[in-house]
Amino acid sequence: MRFHTRKWIKPEDLNPNGTLFGGRLLEWIDEECALYSIVQLENPKTVTKYMSEIDFRSSAHQGDIIEIGIEVEKFGSASLTLKCEVRNKMTRETIITVDKIVMVALDEAGKPKPHGKTEIEFVKDRLK
């Protein structure tokens, strides 16, 4: 799994217990998966279709640095299936895992659009 983005837990990210608000974390994961899929599928109109079980394994606290990891599980026809883990950057403790996140590329009419991709690509290779 490649860990792409780091976040710093700030006061506005906390729940009333003083730990990282789960909704905020899911927002970050959704945005990360959307951006990752948009780049991989080369389609800015890519949406979240499905998220499997979400397991909040440990909490994070103000001042913690966390990192968001994504792995591709499967390239479908219009879909891209991802797996996600967020962990504490310093301790490597897992904070949350989401086993299956399905993103779907759409056409102008909002219907699934085959992306033609079968493997991970790096932008630097596309620019050669």
Ligand X SMILES: CCCCCCCCCCCCCCCC(=O)SCCNC(=O)CCNC(=O)[C@H](O)C(C)(C)COP(=O)(O)OP(=O)(O)OC[C@H]1O[C@@H](n2cnc3c(N)ncnc32)[C@H](O)[C@@H]1OP(=O)(O)O
Tell which positions 47-106 bind ligand X, by CB under 6 A: 47-50, 76-79, 102, 104, 106
Minimum Å gap between C-beta 82 and ligand X is 11
Give the residue among 36, 43, 49, 117 at the shortest CA–CA distance from 84: 36
SS3 18: coil
Residue 18 or 114: the one with the smaller Cβ distance to ligand X is 114
Residue 22 or 76: the one with the smaller Cβ distance to ligand X is 76
Tell which positions 27-56 bind ligand X, by CB under 6 A: 30-31, 34-35, 38, 44, 47-50
SS3 71: strand
Under the criterion CB under 6 A, does residue 18 sit at the interface with ligand X? no
Minimum Å gap between C-beta 115 and ligand X is 9
Residue 81 or 88: the one with the smaller Cβ distance to ligand X is 81
Q: Determine the residue type at 27.
A: E
Beta bridge partners, 102, equal: 50, 81
Give the residue among 29, 78, 32, 37 at the shortest CA–CA distance from 56: 29
Helices (H), the chain: 22-41, 123-126
Binding site for ligand X (CB under 6 A): 30-31, 34-35, 38, 44, 47-50, 76-79, 102, 104, 106, 110, 112
